């Protein structure tokens, strides 16, 4: 019996050391102290004690004596590690080196430092930036008629283009010394939210010049001459930029582009000039049809050694003016009825001088690194912000419509089926807003958030697709009839576009989020890979030994923490927060440890093949993503001073995310290749079983109700979007009507009761109101109010209809209309 107590005491000491992630030395001392105590007591007998001491010595001495440890343990592991380590391609290496590591690294540690994270303030708009939002951005939104843009013009009006140029929308990221606005990332986000929430076409035109485009690249890599020439012209709109990356045969695998340039000499402007002859065929290039300067990615060859000995110089970037001979540009793609300028660029034997190279000859062959570094910033802002703006608009509009639209004498938002959709819309919008704000703030902190950018791009666009689907379901026929009164149709059509661009979502989820995160954000993996590159054998062995045992200790610690925290519901974890949020931090602390352990198990099991195990990588990416999203939501909640009225939405979004974490982890375990290991993994990860549940109906009801009435919570959820009640903007019209609809509901209940009691029996609503006044059910003033509300309600639920010729006419019909107006004015 005493031997059992001894073994339990040794196990307890080991678990305590692992939980607190102590060193091998501390574990050795703790175990020796336990053994010494039992030895002094003479229990459980000298034979048993001697055997335990011998086993302990056999383990502890090699682990603590580093020369032996390195010779007999580390050296064989190093040899095996070198063979099983995935070969990192140059493309992947550049991507890994391009980004920085922020809070996502804390999630890989298994011990997130929550207090440090939430105390770091989110960036706010400056007075100047807020004035721009309230002034020029509001004015731009006043000019936008999305139906005219998408159905008749197939583009922006001259008035909108002039406003974009004059007010500096195309140069938000360009510093003031070059004539730009010099705005922060959070200001960039705020502008895109407001504009894209109203028009994805105008939002795209604003986003691209401020994202992956020549301006961003010029700021980081351009020569002084290039900066001084192009940046002022880009800032004031004299130059409209685009960037040609995707080619016919290379989309996601951008480094295998077939577009090429050959270094040669040719007559240029009457002089023999050293330059490059380009041949390329690009497609899907946003702003290409209207661009005046084209950023171009191509593979550069130097067969004659005019620039150096190397023949294949790698991916290189250049800036090519639109009027360069041999370049064809101007034709358009038509992406799902969203007419933002997008089209192909083709070049045949296009000669450019060397000073067209972006950054000059110094950056020859470094194009992929330049692009990845720029894309990590643009991906963290452009699409997440645009998707968030569209989702906020959908949330506001759907909530109002669900209260205004009635069936069976009650608002459709009160039906439980509709409540489910409204709860998802509100919860996802809250999560997206927190996520996009966190990544934008990270950029303003000086980070290049490659992994968070991929998380934000994937999940913001995926959640926005779910939101627009739910919004369309709630609106029913109102949502599918296109026309000036439809504010959802184009967003529904365009949802697959944002899923596809800037890295297809399937690729982003299955290869990028965890694929990059596992190496870049892990506390040891990248360092271990770097240790393999050390040339000195003894130095390499010593460094790898240090990292190996730190990594093993990390894995054991995460496993123990996952088990203990899961068993205790993390009640003893030191976390910040109040009585409502502390439980959320505890859950995340537990699942962070579980994720870190499961990630290590996956990397150990699959090794270099993990890159091909895209389903496993995708599920682990889901866990990392949801942990990061939950972190962003809690940070937002803290930043907003923990508003109690927002708590139901936070709770819904949090429980939804944690349930997805559980589901993804289950998928990893259930598909683990060694069946006999699965029970152990389930015990460590889910010691009490899978206890997480999706948000319940009661919570969903609370969340849905918050969208149906004006409130501070609803305002915070949808802040920053365009809500003007100007003529021709249905959403603003609904927002103005909503309080009156709510005020009319008690009167409508009086009418319904009177009708059931036989006091009124008119065939029409007007007759019923007259009878209700005569029967003193309502007053004359209330009758007029109800008539006004009914009139405006019918305007909200009405849809458009057209003559066949108007639908067939499209742009030509609009042209006839404009010509007629001009003739009349003349």
Please give the C-alpha separations between residue 412 and each of 45, 409, 463, 695, in angstroms, as whole numbers. 77, 9, 23, 21
Query: Which residues partner with 677 through β-bridges?
Result: none
Where does residue 785 fall: left (phi above 0), alpha (psi -120 to 50 degrees), or beta otherwise? Answer: alpha
The CA radius of gyration of the chain, in Å to the nearest whole number, is 31
How far is the C-alpha of 635 from the C-alpha of 639, rounded, in Å?
6
How far is the C-alpha of 752 from the C-alpha of 408, rounded, in Å?
11
Give the H or E element holding residue 242: strand 241-244
Residue 359: burial class (beta carbons within 10 Å; 0-12, 13-18, 19+):
buried
Q: What are the backbone angles phi and psi of residue 691, rounded to the nearest 5°?
A: -95, -10
CB 241 within 8 A of CB 234: yes
- CA 747 to chain CA mean position, Å: 45
Give the H or E element holding residue 731: helix 730-756
CA-CA-CA-CA torsion sign (202, 203, 208, 209): positive
Residue 803: burial class (beta carbons within 10 Å; 0-12, 13-18, 19+):
exposed
How far is the C-alpha of 291 from the C-alpha of 243, rounded, in Å?
9
CA angle 497, 500, 502 (to 5 degrees): 110
Count of beta carbons in the 10 Å neighbourhood of residue 734: 25
The interaxial angle of helices 200-207 and 489-500, nearest 10 deg, is: 30
CB 214 within 8 A of CB 245: no
CA-CA-CA-CA torsion sign (157, 161, 166, 168): positive
Which 3 state secondary structure label does DSSP give 111? coil
Q: Which residues are catalytic?
A: 502
Q: Which residues of 810-824 are buried (b: 16+ CB within 10 A; e: fewer)?
A: eeebbeeeeeeeeee
Residue with token string 């336990």: 34
CB 680 within 8 A of CB 614: no
Where does residue 269 fall: left (phi above 0), alpha (psi -120 to 50 degrees), or beta otherwise? Answer: left
Tokens representing residue 663 in the block: 């589901």
Residue 682: burial class (beta carbons within 10 Å; 0-12, 13-18, 19+):
middle
How far is the C-alpha of 600 from the C-alpha of 621, rounded, in Å?
13
Strands (E) in 354-496, as ranges, are 406-407, 410-411
Residue 42: burial class (beta carbons within 10 Å; 0-12, 13-18, 19+):
exposed
Tokens representing residue 488 in the block: 């959802």
Q: Which of 136, 135, 720 is nearest to 393 (CA)?
A: 720
- Paired sense of beta strands 327-329 and 342-353, if any: antiparallel
How does DSSP classify residue 357? B
Query: Could you tell me where the DSSP H helices lie in 607-711?
Result: 614-639, 647-670, 678-685, 697-707
Q: Is the preceding omega at residue 44 within 30 degrees of 0, hence cis?
A: yes
DSSP-based helix, strand, coil % in the chain, nearest 5:
65, 10, 25
């Amino acid at each position: 019996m005493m031997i059992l107590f001894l073994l339990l005491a040794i196990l307890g000491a080991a678990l305590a050391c692992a939980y607190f992630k102590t060193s091998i030395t501390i574990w050795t001392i703790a175990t020796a102290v336990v053994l010494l105590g039992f030895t002094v007591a003479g229990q459980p007998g000298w034979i048993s004690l001697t055997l335990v001491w011998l086993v302990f010595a056999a383990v502890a001495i090699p682990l603590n004596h580093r020369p032996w440890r390195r010779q007999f343990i580390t050296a064989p592991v190093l040899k095996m590690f070198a063979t099983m380590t995935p070969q990192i391609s140059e493309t992947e290496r550049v991507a890994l080196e391009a980004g920085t590591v922020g809070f996502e690294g804390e999630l890989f540690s298994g011990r997130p430092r929550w207090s440090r994270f939430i105390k770091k303030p989110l960036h706010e708009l400056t007075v100047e930036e807020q004035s721009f939002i309230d002034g020029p951005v509001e004015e731009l939104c006043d000019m936008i008629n999305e139906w005219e843009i998408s159905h008749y013009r197939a583009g922006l009006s001259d008035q909108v283009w002039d406003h974009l140029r004059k007010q500096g929308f195309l140069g938000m990221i360009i510093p003031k010394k070059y004539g730009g606005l010099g705005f922060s990332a959070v200001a960039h986000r705020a502008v895109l939210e407001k504009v894209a929430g109203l028009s994805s076409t105008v939002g795209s035109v604003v986003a691209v010049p401020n994202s992956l485009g020549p301006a961003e690249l010029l700021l980081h890599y351009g020569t002084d001459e290039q900066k001084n020439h192009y940046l002022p012209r880009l800032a004031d709109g004299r130059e409209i930029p685009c960037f040609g990356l995707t080619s016919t045969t290379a989309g996601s695998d951008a480094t295998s582009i077939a577009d090429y340039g050959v270094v040669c000499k040719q007559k240029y402007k009457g002089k023999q000039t050293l330059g490059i002859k380009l041949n390329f065929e690009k497609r899907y290039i946003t702003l290409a049809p209207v661009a005046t300067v084209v950023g171009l990615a191509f593979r550069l060859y130097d067969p004659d050694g005019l620039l150096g000995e190397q023949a294949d110089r790698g991916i290189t970037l250049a800036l090519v003016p639109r009027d360069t001979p041999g370049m064809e540009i101007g034709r358009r793609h038509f992406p799902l009825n969203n007419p933002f300028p997008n089209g192909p660029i083709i070049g045949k034997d296009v000669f450019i001088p060397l000073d067209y190279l972006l950054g000059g000859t110094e950056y020859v062959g470094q194009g992929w690194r330049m692009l990845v570094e720029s894309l990590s910033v643009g991906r963290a802002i452009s699409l997440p912000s645009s998707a968030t703006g569209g989702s906020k608009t959908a949330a506001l509009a759907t909530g109002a419509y669900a209260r205004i639209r009635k069936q069976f004498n009650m608002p459709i938002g009160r039906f439980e089926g509709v409540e489910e959709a409204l709860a998802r819309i509100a919860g996802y919008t809250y999560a997206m807003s927190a996520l996009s704000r966190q990544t934008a703030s990270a950029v303003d902190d000086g980070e290049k958030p490659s992994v968070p950018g991929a998380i934000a791009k994937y999940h913001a666009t995926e959640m926005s697709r779910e939101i627009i689907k739910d919004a369309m379901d709630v609106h029913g026929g109102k949502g599918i009839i296109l026309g000036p009164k439809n504010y959802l149709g184009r967003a529904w059509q365009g949802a697959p576009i944002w899923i596809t661009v800037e890295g297809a979502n399937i690729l982003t989820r299955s290869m990028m989020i965890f694929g990059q995160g596992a190496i870049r954000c892990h506390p040891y993996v990248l360092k271990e890979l770097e240790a393999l590159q050390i040339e000195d054998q003894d130095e390499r062995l010593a460094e790898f030994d240090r990292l190996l045992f730190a990594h093993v200790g990390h894995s054991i610690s995460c496993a123990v923490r996952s088990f203990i925290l899961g068993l205790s519901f993390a009640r003893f974890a030191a976390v910040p927060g109040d009585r409502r949020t502390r439980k959320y931090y505890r859950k995340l602390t537990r699942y962070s440890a579980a994720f870190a352990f499961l990630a290590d198990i996956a990397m150990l099991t699959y090794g270099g093949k993990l890159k091909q195990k895209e389903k496993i990588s995708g599920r682990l990416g889901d866990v990392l993503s949801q942990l990061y999203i939950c972190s962003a939501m809690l940070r937002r909640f803290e930043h907003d001073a923990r508003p109690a009225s927002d708590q139901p939405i936070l709770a819904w979004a949090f429980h939804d995310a944690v349930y997805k974490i559980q589901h993804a982890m289950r998928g990893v375990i259930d598909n683990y290749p060694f069946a006999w290991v699965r029970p152990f993994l389930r015990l460590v990860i889910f010691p009490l079983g899978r206890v997480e549940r999706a948000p319940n109906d009661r919570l969903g009801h609370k969340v849905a109700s918050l969208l149906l009435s004006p409130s501070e919570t609803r305002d915070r959820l949808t802040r920053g979007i365009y809500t003007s009640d100007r003529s021709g903007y249905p959403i603003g019209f609904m927002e103005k009507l909503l309080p009156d609809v709510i005020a009319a509901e008690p009167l409508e209940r009086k009418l319904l009761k009177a009708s059931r009691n036989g006091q009124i029996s008119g065939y029409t609503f007007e007759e019923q109101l007259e009878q209700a006044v005569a029967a003193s059910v309502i007053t004359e003033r209330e009758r007029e109010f109800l008539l006004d509300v009914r009139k405006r309600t019918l305007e909200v639920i009405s849809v458009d209809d057209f003559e066949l010729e108007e639908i067939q006419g499209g742009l030509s019909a609009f042209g006839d209309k404009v010509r007629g107006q001009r003739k009349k004015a003349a």
